[in-house]
A and B are shown apart, each in its own frame.
Chain A
Amino acid sequence: MIHSLFLINCSGDIFLEKHWKSVVSQSVCDYFFEAQEKAADVENVPPVISTPHHYLISIYREKIFFVSVIQTEVPPLFVIEFLHRVADTFQDYFGECSETAIKDNVVIVYELLEEMLDNGFPLATESNILKELIKPPTILRSVVNSITGSSNMGETLPTGQLSNIPWRKAVVKYTNNEAYFDVIEEIDAIIDKSGSTVFAEIQGVIDSCIKLSGMPDLSLSFMNPRLLDDVSFHPCIRFKRWESERVLSFIPPDGNFRLISYRVSSQNLVAIPVYVKHIISFKENSSSGRFDVTIGPKQNMGKTVEGVIVTVHMPKAVLNMNLTSTQGSYTFDPVLKVLTWDIGKISPQKLPNLKGIVNLQSGAPKPEENPSLNIQFKIQQLAISGLKVNRLDMFGEKYKPFKGVKYITKAGKFQVRT
């Protein structure tokens, strides 16, 4: 299966390599670099590259390429998913999955990779298990270790590994027992020129942070479970209960994890919380154009729209932009031709507006297409689909946990065509 793994940073340095079978020379990465060069954009690097003797499957996360080398037929998604899992684990251990973090903790990284794969086949990927085998680094622990000489390796096999609930540690103890759920919904939408919705869809996830002692058996029910059209579950959820009662029943892993992700059925109309008025035009035969964008909130059930950022990929011919904004600040990157307008909160009384002149390269033809606007925003305390958590019940343990639910609506891939 997975033969080797190379971590490559943006500037093309291989800063970590790990081989699970016999050693594959670094030169195999040349094929990757070649492909990278061909694809101008990092996002455009093909995930699967075929070389004479190997296949390279890569993902790009946090400015690092995870390039895995495989030799035989294997489902590519298997490898991709695994690489993402590796990146997630690093994130989990070091707080961030950056080059510096990996370099600083190279030994732990190595130990982790050793545990996660055996002979190229995934062994333990559940972060709860890994954390018992290899303790994550903390300052306190490194101090203690250097004094007492104890190691940060688990000496015994984590019990979860053998049980039917491999995602949970055996002995968990907290003084404050808490269970938090974040219902996060993202709106994916394409709005066309005239402001009508071409496509809109709500994707949601429930991220949980559960710190409960013992072996709690939770069941979470919704006021309106019918909203959920397509759901994917963390393995801890009992599928049967969901099928029959539409209740999420599970013994949770310890700590942070994604409980479910769902899609709201497409029949429901999606309320788009913002509208955009835009005039973007380029004059024929003169090296300038007009840019005027106003953004405003629609009815949002009384919630304010926050964290609004508008990103525009301007055409290549654009040299510079002279704009004034009534609210927030804007930056224009003349190299990447990206305009970013950070607005912040929208108040309905005074709508933020950004207008001015676009300078084009002289002599260049008028751009064919108006750029589309990518909009990010956030609405606290609102799940746009109307999904509501009804109640959380706990069985199996005696104490009373502290429970909390938070709703957030965000823009996902929210694009306005102009």
Chain B
Amino acid sequence: MLDSNKDSLKLEAMKRIVAMIARGKNASDLFPAVVKNVACKNIEVKKLVYVYLVRYAEEQQDLALLSISTFQRGLKDPNQLIRASALRVLSSIRVPIIVPIMMLAIKEAASDMSPYVRKTAAHAIPKLYSLDSDQKDQLIEVIEKLLADKTTLVAGSVVMAFEEVCPERIDLIHKNYRKLCNLLIDVEEWGQVVIINMLTRYARTQFLSPNQNESLLEENPEKAFYGSDEEDSKDDKPDAASLVKRKPYVMDPDHRLLLRNTKPLLQSRNAAVVMAVAQLYFHLAPKAEVGVIAKALVRLLRSHRSQGNWAAAKAALSVQGMFEPYLKSFYIRSTDPTQIKILKLEVLTNLANETNISTILREFQTYIRSMDKDFVAATIQAIGRCATNIGKVRDTCLNGLVQLLSNRDELVVAESVVVIKKLLQMQPSQHSEIIKHMAKLTDNIQVPMARASILWLIGEYCEHVPKIAPDVLRKMSKSFTGEEDIVKLQVINLAAKLYLTNSKQSKLLTQYVLNLAKYDQNYDIRDRARFIRQLIVPTEKSGALNKYAKKLFLAQKPAPILESSFKDRDHFQLGSLSHLLNAKAVGYQELPDWPDEAPDPSVRNVEVPCYEEEEEQEQVKKGKKKPPQDEGKGGSESSWEEGSVSESSSSESDSGSEAEESQSEPESKRRTTVRGRAGQPGRGLLPLSSGTTPLPCREVGRSSHPPPCTGLGLSSCPSLSILDQLITSQPQHVPTAFLPPSAQMLSPVFSTMKTYELLHRMAGEGLSVEYYFNRQPFPPDPHMVAVQIQFSNNTESEVKNLRVSEPKLVSGMRIQEFQEIAVEPSGSMVGIDTCPQLPGVNWAGSFSLWHVSSSTHSRQFYVSIQPPVGELMAPVFMSENEFKKEQSKLTGMSEITEKLTLLDKCQSDHTIVQRVTAAANHLHAPSFPTGRFAAKTVTSGSLILITLEQKEAARAHLTVNSEKMVIGTMLVQDISQALAQ
């Protein structure tokens, strides 16, 4: 059937083969026939062939090579899904010969445009590594590259690869640490687990232990660590301040960031994520903060999936102390599986303290009557532990246990005897009654351990029960031959002790027992008998030891400490496989100890702009889903601040513009402070202010007041006024979620803003007019393009009544009128005399000239504005997928392609992006490496997509897709010009 021409038959055949594989039957004979179909067009057949190949390629390496070329072709497919699956299969077939091909493919895919393909590449890395570990160095390079990737999709996978290939290269994480922390909440669940585990390790090496100043924290008990976030951040400040004074430990802000960003994940639905966060808190958080995970862990416990339950309970064991409020959650149901019962019991025992012991003991009483005998035994032991730990209830427990001695079940009795023995050791003198009672039991109890315990007890405290002890020995010596080894040993012990204390009554018995033991089958017993005989029976040969026999046997013995069998697993990372098994699993990585000295935190600093942009976008996309950021650390670390996203959008834009402010600083030498000006409208410094008072709305204009933004007239220089608009326009903009805020674009584009001259100084008789496109959305009407016109008066006298009169508009064009400027003072007065205007012009999709007659008081100048076509659009954010979809719609007529040669200086991606965005107001889609820009025309909203493909040797293909063909052509010209410069 595989040779048939019909896809449906092939499919049927493949299905049968896959069913065979699934059942574990060998289908390798069919290899040649199947491999032929690897090039099949039908995607389902193809996938099934892939399944087959992955399963059997290892066994038939030579034949598998036949299929490689198909994958190599698949790697170049335009469909990202096919690219990805080709890479997946190629990397999965485990044929050592193709390692170089795989390496090449991975490298290529790591810089693929599609994040999905990049993710696949990340997956392929550990596969290749396991196939050929010599490639490590090269793979690390790829990992390093992928770690810098900003998409959430890739993050989890690449960290996974990192963990498998080079977990020791912690230095690779530095640069990406903050990014990972911030992205964490958006990464898919499985990725979160891996990242959190990795960050735990990272944090252990990079930060100081938060618990080294325990005492100090205790001095601040009011510190509301359990409180809500806001409280937290509020509290942090004063506390930090007071702590600093005494020079104690201050948590690294990055450490804090990690804790803060992982906290919401405690509420994930995925148990693994919750567990990961829990262990992170357990290992990294200050003691006082660990408590937050208790609630979440109790939730895990409850989940109906018993196994999860089990794991969680195990974890709970290590994290004791904080579960007190949830004590009752650990009460045991008769239907719980035994393992869980025992674990819960363990937790209950650990939680027991003086206040809750009575309730716990009452619970235990119920458990003792359970049908599950193992569980009963465990309960008795638990009672014993409670009794040792809490002195107050020791007597109660002991009495309870003694009652159990009359239980009909042997196991229960035996277990209680053992526990009682241990308890009695602590205070034997008061309990001779109990010992007597137990002595009587020797007749009934058959369990060797219990018998042995009783014998030991009697021997140890034979002074308290002088009458009974020899009697017991007598009985035992009768049955000596039939006893278990362990009992025999105790009988010998008892005999020896009695011989020493009460030799009159027991001398013969002891002799008898020792004789019996001498011919025992077990050499251990024979040895013991011989040894004891030499020690206690005085003969002429016996040495000095004889004198000390009493001391040897009847020395005070310290009471044993009843310990949990789960005690010693703390050294494994919580929630790990090793922790669960209490054995080191393959590949387990020790959690490093805290360093004594904090390593340099500055390694995590990253350059500012890329961060900000990314985060802003993140926030716009996500609405308000961002985790809270640290407000508390505020001004102290300014270098750190840019990395954090402030919560409200308004402060967001504020800091955004502040950043811009600093950028524009060098440009404007005449700059005064923005803030100060905003606060004091009529600052007397500018003589201008008195002159301009008639202006109606200059202050109001700032707060997004209707059109005439002449208010900006106050500003002392153009760049400042732009800043001003940033402040006004952004708050409006950010909430409109999915639209691309051009504000984001500004940061790269701003510095390259081009000014066009409208009226030269000479021609305008001292008045020069310039204009530029600020690429801001024009608030009153989104379909308009904002043009900023800047008048400067270079004459000695005042220019009055500046206005634009009678604009001659081409049909379909609209202009938002702006108000007349009453007075333009003479330049000589202060030297600052610019007055930017902001008319909005609707070019209605065309690009003809805009004739304006600019008239002053006495003169009229005719000027015309011709906008470069690139300014008539607004950037759009789109994912690669959308981009491709749109692009495929705009082919044929609407596609314009041009070949060009790139100059040397603009070879790099960065310059290209810069140049293109300078020429056209496009958004360089951040998710792909280079060459894709998207925008739409402001008026009609039709899409314009630019693709720039770099070919070898400085050649490049420029493609513009747009319905508006004319715009397209012009754009192509402009861009190629821009690139050629």
Chain A residues close to B by CB (< 8 Å) = 1, 14-19, 21-23, 26, 41, 43-44, 46-48, 50, 55, 58-60, 70-78, 80-82, 84, 106-107, 109-111, 114, 118-119, 121-123, 125-126, 146, 149, 151-157, 159, 161-164, 166, 188, 190, 192, 198-199, 201, 203, 229-235, 238-241, 243, 249, 258, 261, 263, 266, 313, 315-316, 365, 367-369, 371-372, 374, 413, 415, 417
| Chain B residues numbered 270-314 whose CB sits less than 8 Å from any CB in chain A | 270-272, 274-276, 295-296, 298-300, 302, 305-308, 310-312
A415 & B160 in contact (Cβ 8 Å cutoff): no
On whether the beta carbons of B305 and A73 are closer than 8 Å, the reply is: no
By a CB distance below 8 angstroms, the chain A residues around B763 are: none
Whether B51 pairs with A199 at a CB distance below 8 angstroms is no
Q: Is the CB of A72 within 8 A of B371?
A: no
A107, B18: Cβ atoms under 8 Å?
yes
Smallest CB-CB A-B distances: 5 pairs: A72-B587, A151-B44, A47-B307, A73-B588, A122-B190
Tell me which of B190, B300, B311, B370 contacts A76 (CB under 8 A): B311
Assess the B311–A80 pair: CB atoms within 8 A.
yes
CA distance A155 to B82 in the complex (A): 8
Beyond A110-B22, A151-B42, A263-B302, whether A80 also contacts B268 by CB under 8 A is no
Assess A75 versus B153: contact at CB under 8 Å? Given A188-B302, A415-B333. Answer: no
- Please, what's the 1-or-0 string for B320-334, where 1 marks a CB less than 8 Å from any CB in chain A? 000001101101011
> Would B47 and A162 count as touching, CB distance under 8 A?
no
By beta carbon, the residue of chain B nearest A81 is B272
- Is the pair A72, B333 in contact by a Cβ cutoff of 8 Å? no
Nearest-CB residue, chain A, relative to B120? A118
**Cβ-defined contact, A161 with B116, below 8 A:** yes
Assembly CA distance A409 to B822 (angstroms): 75
Q: B310 near A47 (CB under 8 angstroms)?
A: yes
Tell me whether B366 is interfacial, beta carbon within 8 Å: yes
Query: In the assembly, what is the distance between CA of A60 and CA of B307, in Å?
Result: 8
Check A192 against B264 for contact (C-beta < 8 Å).
no
Contact B271 A17 (CB under 8 A): no
Known: A111-B47, A232-B274, A240-B624. 18 other contacts (CB 8 A): A17-B24, A48-B577, A73-B578, A77-B300, A77-B575, A80-B308, A110-B21, A111-B51, A119-B91, A119-B127, A122-B189, A125-B190, A149-B8, A166-B188, A249-B624, A313-B335, A368-B407, A371-B371
Q: Could you list which residues of chain B lie within 8 angstroms of chain A, going by C-beta atoms? A: 7-8, 11, 15, 18-19, 21-24, 42-45, 47-48, 50-51, 55, 58, 79-81, 84, 88, 91-92, 94, 114-116, 120, 123-124, 126-127, 130, 152-153, 157, 160, 185-186, 188-190, 193, 197, 228-229, 264, 267-272, 274-276, 295-296, 298-300, 302, 305-308, 310-312, 325-326, 328-329, 331, 333-335, 337-339, 363, 366, 369-371, 407-409, 575-578, 580-581, 583, 585-589, 621-628, 879-881
| Given known contacts A48-B581, A263-B299, A372-B334, A121 and B160 CB-to-CB distance under 8 angstroms | yes
The A interface is mostly helix, strand or loop, or mixed, namely mixed
7 contacts between A and B (CB under 8 A): A72-B585, A72-B586, A75-B197, A201-B329, A203-B302, A239-B185, A415-B334
Note all chain B residues with C-beta closer than 8 A to A60: 307
A162 interface neighbour in B153, B325, B333, Cβ under 8 Å: B153
B8 contact set on A, CB distance < 8 A: 146, 149
Asked if A368 contacts B299 (CB within 8 A), the reply is no
Contact assessment for A55 and B577 in the assembled complex, using a CB-CB cutoff below 8 Å? yes
**Interchain CB contact under 8 A, A75 and B193:** yes
Minimum CB distance partner of B127 in chain A: A119
Inside 8 A of A119's CB, which chain B residues have their CB?
Answer: 91-92, 123-124, 126-127
Q: How far is the CB of A228 from chain B (nearest CB, A)?
A: 11
Contact call B881/A159, Cβ cutoff below 8 A: yes
**A residues in contact with B575, CB < 8 Å:** 75-77
Specify which chain B residues have a CB less than 8 angstroms from the CB of A43 in the assembled complex: 306, 337
B310 and A316 form a contact (CB under 8 A)? no
CB distance from A396 to the nearest CB of B (A): 9
Q: How far is the CA of A163 from the CA of B617 in the complex (A)?
A: 13
Q: List, in ascending order, chain B residues with CB within 8 A of A16's CB.
A: 22-23
Do A22 and B58 touch across chains, with their CB atoms under 8 A apart? yes
Residue among A71, A82, A151, A201 with most chain B CB within 10 A: A151
Provide the residues of chain B in CB contact with A80, threshold 8 Å: 271-272, 305, 307-308, 311
The CA of A80 and the CA of B94, in the complex, are separated in Å by 27
Which residues of A have CB within 8 Å of B371?
A: 315-316, 367-369, 371
Q: A18–B8 Cα gap in the complex (Å)?
A: 25
In Å, the complex CA distance between A316 and B370 comes to 12
Flag if B267 contacts A231 (CB, 8 Å). Answer: yes
**Are the C-beta atoms of B335 and A155 separated by less than 8 Å?**
no
Task: Give the CA-CA distance A111 to B49 in the complex, in Å.
Answer: 11
B343 to chain A, nearest CB (A): 12
Are B264 and A162 in contact, with the CB atoms below 8 A? no
